[in-house]
Amino acid sequence: MSIYRNAVWFVKGLQEYTKSGYEAAAKHFAPADLDVNLSGRSFMITGCNSGIGKATAQEIANRGGTIHMVCRNKGRAEAAKDEIVERSNNQNVHVHIVDMSSARQVWEFAQNFLQSNAVHVLINNAGCMVNQRELTEEGLEKNFATNTLGTYILTTALIPALKKVEDPRVVTVSSGGMLTQKLNVDDLQFEKGTFDGTMAYAQNKRQQVILTDRWASQHKEIHFSSMHPGWADTPAVQTSMPSFHAKMQSKLRTEAMGADTSVWLAVSAAAAKQPSGLFFQDRKAVATHLPLASTRSTPQEEEKLLAALEEFALKFKPQ
Instruction: Please report, for the chain, how many H helices and E strands are present, in that order.
Output: 13, 8
Q: Is 39 helix (H, G, I), strand (E, B) or coil?
A: coil
Active site residue 201: yes
* C-alpha span between 246 and 29 (Å, rounded): 30
Q: Which of 17, 22, 152, 201 is catalytic?
A: 201
* C-alpha span between 122 and 173 (Å, rounded): 11
CA dihedral (82, 51, 88, 112) positive or negative: negative
* C-alpha span between 111 and 319 (Å, rounded): 11
Closest CA to 301 of 204, 183, 214: 183
Paired with 23 in beta bridges are: none
* C-alpha span between 38 and 100 (Å, rounded): 26
Strand order in the sheet with 66-71: 93-97, 66-71, 42-46, 121-124, 169-173, 223-228, 278-281, 284-285
Which residues are catalytic, by number?
A: 201
